[in-house]
Chain A
């Protein structure tokens, strides 16, 4: 795939917009991609790295992916420019059943670099805004600088049909920070909508997920109405290589999207 553009989201975090070079691959993607799925993005000579497709299923002309520069592959991906070639394998995995969300209130909760998978669902729903009722987005990061998709956050903030709640960890605020200061679970408890007829989509680092699930439970959300994605280390993406397993579940095939009740059924120590 060819890089169309790249965007610096936060220190060490970049978004790449990719277009298909091969018509056949594009067709496959069009036919198969649904929000929640992931892919393996690669550079020959360095390897492949797994992350979600951050663009929504309503926009299939291109793929956007957002990642933090940390390992060998992501360091190289971070250095690509428009016009460079990267590989993509996918889309793999399952999806958020967004048609089941229709007619319901949506609560999106994301932490740090985990906004991208949520963003895919958010846009998939916002692009068909009339099908859903109230939309609340709670997004937190360690510091103001770590918030990703800043321009889209502004856009959501401007919209009347989206309630965006931003928060940063204590100590991460800047002098002109107007929004919340505090960890996502505690902010959530203050701002969450009623659990009635509400679906929650939750993405974040393992520790945040753990505490946020507790908070949601306290707020009265049924575990069946809370969706999350698990992002384990993967190599093959097709249920062979064995490293993404949590219990008997192959995250790459049966996930990455799970309801909280499915997650709770997994061996918790292995998460």
Chain B
């Protein structure tokens, strides 16, 4: 016997969550873009997507975030820290790869100095994930040892029912349990068959690739130039990645007052590492692409024990020149001994 949430009761759940003080955020489509947005009702949700174009990361590490408001006065400078709002949030309809992305980034934002912007939001959020029953050619979670129902990062996992009436609900964390408590009356205790999971073929041998990447001899391999030749150096793969987390800090305002902001930045950009002297440690696009791959599949693991990739495939899916992690790791797998 498991708990079942029927499609028809979803709106009731939303109301319950809202009255319990949660904002409900789910995949939705507006202005020709699918992303996670606050929704008023189940009808606003776009749950049939393989994956929204934008990631859930936007709501934990937004593309631009005010840090400090400052005002320059004649004798002193007044500052005021701008922390994120306190409201509790339910993320409904997250895919396992996006949820895993949060989990992957936790240690980065937590090591040594704890990033309060990230963790405040993490603590106030409950992730309700829906296991995937369909995939597209770009999906590659299984290649990075995750999968269509991987619980990493999720507080509640929903398994779609075979008959399409709703979802089987599995709580994974205390936070998930607490959320479930608020909607118990809307759930049914029932035995129902869940739909079969999406078949996501394994595209590359990540272990083999990691071994190849770990070999210093390959760092200066011609491979990197070959594989990244067509890279145009935009930041779309990093900005749409659920785990990429690089940022810039900028002051913006007029001559007397303004706001210091934290903005997304990308290791793909030529300016990213440019010193003021003009020296640029990573001065070619191939070095920058290598950095991205190395960081995700070598450096990050060395520091935090996981790869910084949750297999969503957005990098390839949205690449203007059809590059991406999949191709690179496939090629590595093919060439590695």
Contact = CB atoms under 8 A, between A and B. Distances in A.
Interface stretch (A23-31, A97-105, A235-243): A235-243
Interface string A119-137: 0000000000000000000
Contacts of A46: 251
B212 to A, nearest CB: 15
B302 interface: yes
A246 B281 contact: yes
A208 to B, nearest CB: 11
A45 to B, nearest CB: 5
B299 A247 contact: yes
Given A240-B108, A247-B294, A45 B267 contact: no
Interface in B235-284: 245-251, 253, 255, 258, 260, 265, 267, 272-277, 279, 281-282
B115 interface: yes
Contacts of A45: 70, 72, 251, 253, 255, 258
B76 interface: yes
B245 A233 contact: no
Contact of A71 (B115, B216, B276): B276
B77 interface: yes
A60 interface: no
Contacts of B250: 47
Nearest to B280: A233
A211 B323 CA distance: 38
B8 interface: no
A41 to B, nearest CB: 13
Contacts of A240: 108-109, 113, 115, 245, 247
Nearest to B274: A233
A174 B245 CA distance: 50
A269 to B, nearest CB: 6
Given A239-B113, A269-B287, A70 B277 contact: yes
Interface string A61-105: 000000010110010000000000100000000000000000000
A103 B247 CA distance: 44
A91 to B, nearest CB: 13
Contacts of A85: 76-77
B245 A243 contact: no
Contacts of A206: 279, 281
Interface string A141-174: 0000000000000000000000000000000000
Nearest to B303: A248
Nearest to A242: B246
A232 B72 contact: no
Q: How large is the interface on B (under 10, 10 to 19, 20 to 34, 35 or more residues)?
A: 35 or more
Given A238-B113, A239-B113, A245-B295, A233 B273 contact: yes
A243 B216 CA distance: 21
A242 B294 CA distance: 13
A239 B282 CA distance: 19
Interface in A221-268: 231-233, 235-236, 238-243, 245-248, 253, 267
Contact of A248 (B76, B109, B299): B299
Interface in B40-76: 70, 72, 76
Nearest to A267: B219
Nearest to B275: A233
A48 interface: yes
Contact of A270 (B112, B255, B291): B291
A205 interface: yes
A247 B272 CA distance: 15
B199 interface: no
Nearest to A43: B251
A240 B106 CA distance: 11
A121 to B, nearest CB: 22
A112 B242 CA distance: 42
A74 B247 contact: no
Given A45-B251, A47-B251, A74-B276, A248 B281 contact: no
Interface of B: 70, 72, 76-77, 79, 108-109, 111-113, 115, 216, 219-220, 245-251, 253, 255, 258, 260, 265, 267, 272-277, 279, 281-282, 287, 291, 294-295, 298-300, 302-303
Given A46-B251, A242-B265, A253-B112, 8 more contacts: A45-B251, A48-B249, A68-B276, A85-B76, A232-B275, A239-B111, A243-B272, A270-B282
Nearest 4 Cβ contacts at the A-B interface? A242-B246, A248-B299, A44-B70, A70-B276
6 contacts: A44-B72, A45-B258, A239-B111, A240-B113, A243-B273, A253-B112
